[in-house]
Structure 1
Amino acid sequence: MVSDPHPFDTLSPQRIVAAVESLGFFLPGEPFALNSYENRVFLLHDDERRRWVVKFYRPGRWSDAQIHEEHALLFELAEADVPVAAPWRDARGESLHHFEGFRLALFPHVPGQAPELENPAHLFALGELIGRVHTVSSRAAFRERPVVAPVAMAARSREQVLAGGWLNRRQRQAYLRISEALEKALARDTWSGDAAIRVHGDCHLGNILGRDEHFALVDFDDCCMAPAVQDLWMMLTAQSEPEWQMQLSELLEGYEQYHDFDRRQLGWIEALRTLRLIRHSAWLVARWEDPAFPRAFPWVASEDYWDQHIRTLEQQRLALESPRWLA
């Protein structure tokens, strides 16, 4: 029995070009696929030699209202001269476009490289960038986008993993035990709703580009309501206390040039890290019907992957009980 094709399988180069040209552009060449799995993202240039990134949104993931909130935040940031890639708007002011069942948006290409997290000057500049973002984003709230709620999100991710046939009997028992223990720990470390602001939500190095100490933040696809530290903790990558403290000091010094930071939020870093670890495996499971995922992540189907994942969650339980370097 042949399964139905995934919607993204129909995104041929010809259809991509036709979608962008339906917006009034002329593309002399073919699009180049960029590294993206949740959506489909392509680099292209038009006949005026302008470089663009076109994003085709995953069907069924976000509502139009949620995408419009993403774009509205980007327009607010751009109007405040914060370096982000705000989407292109047509003559009617529309930034979300439709073509043959797909929803797409067109963004100016941001050149550059990822920052170096061992470079103090880069860390200070990153802190400034996120501080500028939060100065604008904290002025209002999302109404449609998700709110980061660790316990509920972890429980939903656990059910996604357990509902599939990914774990053998031994792994299932171990995963059930550790995931339930982590949910209890997350319940102790949760925050009140008034701590949440509009955040980028996925501030890893792949979403920060620039040169020297001038960086821009791209891909707000995961923007949500969460504590400010959500946009900072992934930059704290050091494996020793002196280096970690250096990263933290430079990052917060830059951040507080533009926006105050409540140091109590540092105590939520391990909870956010735990949630990301739990949700990542659930995300892989949930997207497995997309042919791009088995090709990119074949190890997910192995017992070794799940054994390692369970060991990682065990280590994270200890980190939640005794957060590193925060005493």
Structure 2
Amino acid sequence: MEIPGKEFYNRLDIDSVLSAVEDAGFSVSGHCLALNSLENRVYDVGLEEGGRLVVKFYRPGRWTLNQILEEHSFLKELEEGEIPVVAPLALENGVTVRETKGIYYTIWPLQKGRLVEELDKNNLVQTGRLLARIHNIGASKQATYRIEYNLKNFGEEPLRFLKEKEFLPSHLWKRYEEAANRIFNSFFEASKDMPFHRIHGDCHKGNLIQTADGLCFIDFDDFVTGPAVQDFWMLLPFGDSASEYEREIFLEGYREFREFRSSWFDLVEPLRGLRYIHYSAWIAKRWEDPSFPNAFPHFGTEEYWEKETQDLERLGSDLPLSPEEDGRNSFQKTEESELTNKDFFWDMED
């Protein structure tokens, strides 16, 4: 079944981008630069009177209109709670989502800032406080349309897709499936009686910036209903006594505003495992998009699946993970240059 808007999305060009921004009520200068995003199409657009905006075209078939609007509503709640986030611009009649040829798009302010590459003691406390405040608002009401971070959505369905499409070599499938099922069982046990509420969903250092006004969380494109610890484990270090010390500093800030039980960290390893499976399925589902083979040239090779299987098997054991594991857990950059939305929409989750 063909997804409406998919053909236009795949051949989206500069003229179409500029026309969409003009249709939204802005006079453009002609400047249009494609930005760093795989999941969506994102562009830096110059305005005739000076200044720039960012326009984001959502991948057709990924989110419904109600799901996109619920993200924007959550961001509005956070803004009203004086939490620093980047929210879309409200256009004519308060509309935040427009449509062109079957594609939803939104327009955002160009927010400048620097990535927080390392969380020092002060940043750890501040980040903990901010996340707690986000979670307080997240827990204040239920999401109606956004998905839940559960086994079905982030484990069983991605695993089923990989199996049905036969992405794994046949001789590795049994090992991979057995390792996945162990992860599923661990998640089920560790998440019992754990509160689920609205969370960021993709909370790594690439989505935390230092602006002139302080720390700011960005890119809520993957916001879901899930456990608080999902917003911790990609942001915080794990594995040694120094990591425990840093986590405690973070929790000092978090617990000023919200409860967090140390036992909830037991969910971290299962969450890592779900990310392995979901991440591979995400790439596989997008493989017909020409940008994905270019971005992931080793995906699908024998070596790729052997490492994926081994790392999935190692989770929960005392064996070390492969170096590639860090690359899946965090998409932070190392350059010191000032960043804008060019790096803010690095949508590495489905």
Asked if the contact 1:150–1:271 (Cα under 8 Å) also holds between the matched residues in 2, the reply is no
1:233 is aligned to 2:224: no
Runs of 4+ in 1 over 6 A off after TM superposition: none
Which segments of 5 or more consecutive residues in structure 1 lack a partner in the other structure? Answer: 321-327
Shift of 1:152: 5.4
For residues 183 and 230 of structure 2, the distance between their equivalents in structure 1, rounded to whole angstroms, comes to 19
Distance 1:181 1:245, change over 3 A: closer
What aligned pairs does 1:242-321 form with structure 2 within 5 A after superposition? 242-318=241-317
1:37 is aligned to 2:42: no
Give the match for residue 336 of structure 2. Answer: none
- Higher RCO (C-alpha 8 Å, min separation 6): 2
15-24 or 146-155, larger mean C-alpha shift: 146-155
Shift of 1:254: 1.8
User: Residue 310 of structure 1: SS of its match in structure 2?
Assistant: helix
For residues 304 and 103 of structure 2, the distance between their equivalents in structure 1, rounded to whole angstroms, comes to 34
Distance 1:139 1:121, change over 3 A: same
Asked if the contact 1:238–1:247 (Cα under 8 Å) also holds between the matched residues in 2, the reply is no
Asked if the contact 2:125–2:249 (Cα under 8 Å) also holds between the matched residues in 1, the reply is yes
Give the match for residue 145 of structure 2. Answer: 144
User: Residue 147 of structure 1: SS of its match in structure 2?
Assistant: coil
Give the match for residue 20 of structure 1. Answer: 21
Structure 2 counterpart of 1:242, which letter?
S
For residues 272 and 212 of structure 2, the distance between their equivalents in structure 1, rounded to whole angstroms, comes to 29
What aligned pairs does 1:185-204 form with structure 2 within 5 A after superposition? 185-192=186-193, 195-204=195-204
Spell out, residue by residue over 1:7-56, the C-alpha distance to the aligned partner (whole angstroms, 9 max, x if none). 43221011111111111111213322222111111222323433322111
Which segments of 5 or more consecutive residues in structure 2 lack a partner in the other structure? Answer: 320-350
User: Residue 299 of structure 1: SS of its match in structure 2?
Assistant: coil
Shift of 1:299: 0.6
Structure 2 counterpart of 1:291, which letter?
P
Give the match for residue 223 of structure 1. Answer: 223
Shift of 1:104: 0.4
Aligned residues: 315
What aligned pairs does 1:109-124 form with structure 2 within 5 A after superposition? 109-124=110-125
| TM-score (structure 1 length as normaliser) | 0.90
Asked if the contact 2:18–2:45 (Cα under 8 Å) also holds between the matched residues in 1, the reply is no
What aligned pairs does 1:74-89 form with structure 2 within 5 A after superposition? 74-89=75-90
For residues 49 and 79 of structure 1, the distance between their equivalents in structure 2, rounded to whole angstroms, comes to 28
- Identity, in percent, stands at 33
178-187 or 136-145, larger mean C-alpha shift: 178-187
Structure 2 counterpart of 1:112, which letter?
G
Shift of 1:67: 0.9
